[in-house]
Amino acid sequence: FWEFLQKKFQQEFAAVSYQTWIESAQPLKLENQKIFICVPSSLHKEYWERNISTKVVEAAYEYSNQEIVPVILLPNDLKTTQPKTQTDNTAPQATNHLVREAHLNSKYTFDSFVTGSGNQMAHAAALVVSEEPGTMYNPLFIYGGVGLGKTHLMQAIGHRMLDRDPQANVKYISSESFANDFINSIQNRTQEEFRNEYRTVDLLLVDDIQFFADKEGTQEEFFHTFNTLYNTKKQIVLTSDRLPNEIPKLQERLVSRFKWGLSVDITAPDLETRTAILRKKAIAENLEIPDDALSYIASQIDSNVRELEGALVRVQAYSTMNNEDINISLAAEALKDLKDSQHQAGLTISKIQTQVAKYYKLTVDDLKGKRRNKSIVVPRQIAMYLSRELTDSSLPKIGQEFGGKDHTTVLHSCEKIAKLLESDLNIQHDLTNLKASLQN
């Protein structure tokens, strides 16, 4: 089965990703329909659990029409859990059962959160809320772009509450799971249970509520959940990629309630904070990385913390593969591959133009043309920006493909979008969507 998996993933993943994630993993044994796989670091483990585990399950069906579930282990787990796994088949990493019941990730605590200019306010508000739940800021609404620590911070509140009161009823849920649970409860006629479950918690954490857009019934239900909790002074914490009034099709009464408490934003971390985050991760992972190499990595990745973590994993994997210590030049080598792998094979400027035009309901000719209406100019600049970022075309080449524009125009457009991206949530949102659709 492992060989089968390797072959399959070799086709599916880009060469660099394959080397980083798959080659470094070792199958240990197949037992009771579980495949035990050992990976080198907790960053690998997280990546496997997030992105690869479901693929393994799918592949198992393809291979033998059976359910085989991967269990991802770290070298450290082996020492402690191996004797156990032979007798019982409970999950190997025994996290605190309270934390598990609340659906919290044990890593997302205040201790592991690094504060800096972009998140200071949000961090302070989260601390206050965990000290005095239900009284000061209710709801607490945290918003900002992807990978900036919203989920982490919101869960830290949950951990803190459980630390102080292990009896507390804490519940973390994504807005999508909330919607699914709700729909299932209607289908299974278990609405009573559903309501009891959500309306009796002490702390409710609902993540990414922008996905409530368009879900009328769920919004209705959440409105009542919200009111019950609010009236009984139970703390509610919400996150979203934008402000409540910017979420399309969110009922006005929800928008106004979400504004009752405090809204705080998280913005991208500055270089200093990024370096501090890396240092903290390196220590947690027992990695020996000199300070100058840490700042170098931080200077190369300025978009979001999740990518920053990815870069660290990559550098680490590269150092293991080549059996060399981590320093600036090794980091540069490792990240060069990362930049290359962002250039999608087969993605062309013309595909980008088609996708962007479709997204903004324009024509490709609009993008290539010279009309200066705002509704065309920004999409045009976005298309140029994506061409620069996702293909390895030169500026003059991009200019040429956009109806023969000068390379300085292209450069100006890219800089303009990069600048807007720092503050404009709509642009951030559009770019995330566009990239996702281009990557499929």
Task: Tell me which stretch binds Mg ion (CB under 5 A): 16-24, 150-158, 169-177, 190-198.
Answer: 150-158
* Closer residue to ligand ADP (CB): 60 or 148: 148
Interface residues with ligand ADP (CB under 6 A) are 108, 112-114, 119, 146-152, 277, 305-306, 309
* Closer residue to ligand ADP (CB): 118 or 399: 118
The residue at minimum Cβ distance from Mg ion is 151
> Two tokens at 245?
């009034």
Residue 148 binds what, of Mg ion, ligand ADP, none (CB under 5 to 8 Å, by partner type)? ligand ADP
Q: Which candidate, 126, 179, 168, 132, places its Cα nearest to that of 150?
A: 126
CA distance 24 to 314: 12
What's the alpha-carbon Rg for the chain, to the nearest Å? 24
Task: Find out whether 109 is annotated in a ligand binding site.
Answer: no
> Two tokens at 76?
């450290």
Least distance in angstroms from the C-beta of 117 to ligand ADP:
11
Least distance in angstroms from the C-beta of 205 to Mg ion:
11
Task: Find out whether 233 is annotated in a ligand binding site.
Answer: no
**Edge-to-edge strands of the sheet including 34-38?**
26-31, 34-38, 69-73
Task: Tell me which stretch binds Mg ion (CB under 5 A): 8-16, 65-73, 145-153, 242-250.
Answer: 145-153
Least distance in angstroms from the C-beta of 284 to ligand ADP:
10
- The yes or no reply on residue 119 touching Mg ion (CB under 5 A) is no
* Residue 126 DSSP code: H
Task: Tell me which stretch binds Mg ion (CB under 5 A): 41-49, 142-150, 241-249, 352-360.
Answer: 142-150
Map 40-95 to HEC letters.
CCHHHHHHHHHHHHHHHHHHHHHHHCCCCEEEEECHHHHHHHHHHHHHCCCCCCCC
Helices (H), 188-285: 191-199, 216-231, 252-258, 271-284
The residue at minimum Cβ distance from ligand ADP is 149
Least distance in angstroms from the C-beta of 119 to ligand ADP:
5
Peptide bond just before 139 cis, omega within 30 deg: yes
Pairing of strands 34-38, 203-207: unpaired
Task: Find out whether 149 is annotated in a ligand binding site.
Answer: yes
- The yes or no reply on residue 151 touching Mg ion (CB under 5 A) is yes
Q: For Mg ion, what does the binding mask look like between residues 397 and 426, x meaning CB under 5 A?
A: ------------------------------
Buried (b) or exposed (e) across 326-364, using 16+ Cβ within 10 A?
Answer: beeebbeebbebbeebeeeeebebebbbbbbbebbebeb
Angle at 281 between CA 100 and CA 161, to 5 degrees: 35
Handedness of CA 269, 337, 355, 400 (dihedral sign): positive
Task: Find out whether 215 is annotated in a ligand binding site.
Answer: no
* Closer residue to ligand ADP (CB): 108 or 211: 108
* Closer residue to ligand ADP (CB): 221 or 309: 309
Residue 149 binds what, of Mg ion, ligand ADP, none (CB under 5 to 8 Å, by partner type)? ligand ADP
* Closer residue to Mg ion (CB): 17 or 304: 304
CA distance 360 to 144: 23
* Closer residue to ligand ADP (CB): 59 or 142: 142
Residues that bind Mg ion (CB under 5 A): 150-151
Annotated binding site: which residue ranges?
147, 149-151
Annotated binding site for ATP: which residue ranges?
147, 149-151
